[in-house]
A and B are shown apart, each in its own frame.
Chain A
Amino acid sequence: MKLYNRIFERTEDLLRGRTSVSFPYEEDKTWPLSEDYEMIMRKDSRFELGSGKRCGAAMTCVTDDESYVNEDCTCLYGPDLPEIKDGTDYFRISQILIRKGETGESANDAPGLCDLVRDIDFVRFHVYTKGFMIRTSGQSVREQVRVSGEALEKGISFSRIGNTFIRMYREKPGVERARVIFITAEDTDFSALEAEAVRAADIRRSLSGIGKGLPRDCAACSIKEICSEVEGLKELHFGYNATS
């Protein structure tokens, strides 16, 4: 499965040489979840990440190549939550390793792969972390966070939020490892990262379309552009339709 390989590589290029801290996954140090989506009003929040004109975005990339995701961990580029005073830029990258058998090695695997990638991406809609309200867009790559004063007093940090994400990803059958990267450093090239996020979102939506059975006539297909660009997508598309 090579669909996201170029994104993994470009992301690595963009972050290479930058200062970061890595926190290995600790299952018992997740941040507590609410039962349902918890709305934090502005007056109850200490600050917002990625709001207004700041960068606020996220992307999810999936691979079966373990060289891209060699351990379960959270990485942080920039200040951690307790160090932030008035909000900052915010970018979340979730890099997920899935088992080889799940990855569409043959055309018959395509529907399962499409569903798995969608389920992995949709985890973001279910992360109801207490005092860390994630506003994630369903139609763009935008993601913003409101952090409550209470959560800060209770010791919230990106490593604990990352642990929660990782646990939720690992609960998906087929997921082997997860790395969650948070970027708050202001001198990051966010526009380049956002461009990668758009590409990742396009791939995921194309996979959903393939799962639903898109037309085989390229001239009439809405994912033609991305299909031509991303290695492996066309094979998945035609392979699946040919066998369905």
Chain B
Amino acid sequence: MAKIIALAGKGGVGKTTVCSAFVRILGETRPDSRILAIDADPAVGLATALGVEVNETLDDIRCEIIEKAEDGAGKEALELLGEARYRIFDALAEKERFSFLAIGRPEGAGCYCSVNTYLKAVIEMVSRDFDYVVIDGEAGIEQINRRVMEKVTHLVLVTDASKKGLQVARSIYEVADRLVMYEKRGIILNRIDDEELAATLPTDGMEILSVIQSDPSHARNDILGKTIFELEETAPVYKGAKEALEKIGI
């Protein structure tokens, strides 16, 4: 049974960075395990952080399957499922220590529900083939609310010190209680340099998995277009991510 770790929180709080650090650490500490990173955020930042080139996304595949299904006679459910299973490999970027899937961004304005529904099915379909699935979730609460994450076993919320960030984390935490079948959850406080301030933040009983200071080495890496794999092991992001994984028992 795969451990499915999802990261959620407000936009811009550092979810993608922590997520990429999780993928790196899992690859380093469990070289024989199968690890899948899913970029479920339409902002599509995880690929860059992990140094993966995205050729096709889940949404590209979904659209092609629908288009073909509507063109002609006799497409059956098993054929569509077979096609999804066939095409998933076209979107799967297989690296030495992990594989990667991007949900993608639907063309034009409109509802994201269909992609989320497809994502949920894909999570269910591929999770049994991997030991660890790490999901960089969409900012906000939508994917939790729509039960996309219901199979998640470990829910990690990420926030900075902002009131809004904490509010979003709290909302997700509460909704997840009803809609996610997690084994373990907690919150990472990111970019917090003042330990005293960290102690006063209203985390409302959410277990703090780690407190990560602002990380100039990561910021420098970002500017230079370097990946998470080029970050020193002494970097606060790396150390904080490792501590959080240990706290959730991974």
Cβ-closest chain B residue relative to A135: B86
Residue pair B86, A39 in contact (C-beta under 8 Å): no
A208 and B87 alpha carbons, distance in the complex (Å):
23
> Which residue from B74, B78, B83, B86 sits with its C-beta under 8 Å from A212?
B74
Interchain nearest-CB distance for B94 vs A (Å): 5
Interface presence of A99 (CB below 8 A): no
In chain B, residues 77-104, which have Cβ atoms closer than 8 Å to a Cβ of chain A?
A: 78-87, 89, 94, 96, 99
Residue pair B86, A136 in contact (C-beta under 8 Å): yes
Interface presence of B75 (CB below 8 A): yes
Interface presence of B34 (CB below 8 A): yes
Residue pair B73, A139 in contact (C-beta under 8 Å): no
Residue pair B76, A118 in contact (C-beta under 8 Å): yes
Q: How many A-B residue pairs have CB under 8 A?
A: 64
Residue pair A138, B78 in contact (C-beta under 8 Å): yes
Interchain nearest-CB distance for A215 vs B (Å): 10
Majority SS of interface residues in chain B?
helix
In chain B, residues 162-192, which have Cβ atoms closer than 8 Å to a Cβ of chain A?
A: none
A145 and B83 alpha carbons, distance in the complex (Å):
15
In chain A, residues 115-140, which have Cβ atoms closer than 8 Å to a Cβ of chain B?
A: 118, 122, 124-125, 135-139
Interchain nearest-CB distance for B178 vs A (Å): 30
Cβ-closest chain A residue relative to B126: A39
Interchain nearest-CB distance for A62 vs B (Å): 15
Residues of A within 8 A of B34 (CB): 41
Residue pair B78, A125 in contact (C-beta under 8 Å): yes
Residues of A within 8 A of B126 (CB): 39
Residue pair B86, A137 in contact (C-beta under 8 Å): yes
Residues of A within 8 A of B81 (CB): 125, 138
Specify which of B75, B86, B94, B99 lies most central, judged by the most chain A CB atoms within 10 Å of its CB: B86
Residues of A within 8 A of B84 (CB): 138
B46-54, B64-72, B110-118 - the one binding chain A = B64-72
Residue pair A205, B78 in contact (C-beta under 8 Å): no
> Which residue from A36, A205, A207, A223 sits with its C-beta under 8 Å from B75?
A205
A23 and B15 alpha carbons, distance in the complex (Å):
57
Interface residues on B, range: 20 to 34
Residue pair B76, A37 in contact (C-beta under 8 Å): no
Residues of A within 8 A of B65 (CB): 139
Residues of A within 8 A of B87 (CB): 137
Residues of B within 8 A of A36 (CB): 128
Residue pair B79, A138 in contact (C-beta under 8 Å): yes
A206 and B73 alpha carbons, distance in the complex (Å):
7
Residue pair A139, B99 in contact (C-beta under 8 Å): no
Interface presence of B193 (CB below 8 A): no
Interface presence of B129 (CB below 8 A): yes
Residues of A within 8 A of B76 (CB): 118, 208
Residues of B within 8 A of A125 (CB): 78, 81-82
Residues of A within 8 A of B78 (CB): 122, 125, 138
Cβ-closest chain A residue relative to B87: A137
Interface presence of A154 (CB below 8 A): no
Cβ-closest chain B residue relative to A37: B85
A38 and B34 alpha carbons, distance in the complex (Å):
13
Residue pair B72, A137 in contact (C-beta under 8 Å): no
A42 and B94 alpha carbons, distance in the complex (Å):
7
Cβ-closest chain A residue relative to B81: A138
Cβ-closest chain B residue relative to A114: B74
Residues of B within 8 A of A205 (CB): 72-75
Say yes or no: A137-B94 contact (C-beta < 8 A), given A205-B72, A223-B73. Answer: no
Interface presence of A160 (CB below 8 A): no
> Which residue from A122, A124, A206 sits with its C-beta under 8 Å from B74?
A206
Residues of B within 8 A of A139 (CB): 65, 68-69, 75, 79-80, 83
A interface residues with partner B (beta carbon < 8 Å): 36-39, 41-43, 118, 122, 124-125, 135-139, 142, 204-209, 212, 214, 222-223
Other A-B pairs beyond A37-B85, A137-B86, A138-B83, 14, CB < 8 Å:
A36-B128, A38-B129, A43-B94, A138-B80, A139-B80, A142-B86, A205-B72, A205-B74, A205-B75, A206-B73, A207-B74, A214-B73, A222-B72, A223-B73
What are 30 A-B pairs with beta-carbon distances under 8 A?
A36-B128, A41-B34, A41-B94, A41-B99, A42-B94, A118-B76, A122-B78, A124-B82, A135-B89, A136-B82, A137-B82, A137-B83, A137-B87, A138-B75, A138-B81, A138-B82, A138-B86, A139-B65, A139-B69, A139-B79, A139-B80, A204-B74, A205-B73, A205-B75, A206-B73, A208-B74, A209-B73, A212-B74, A222-B72, A222-B73
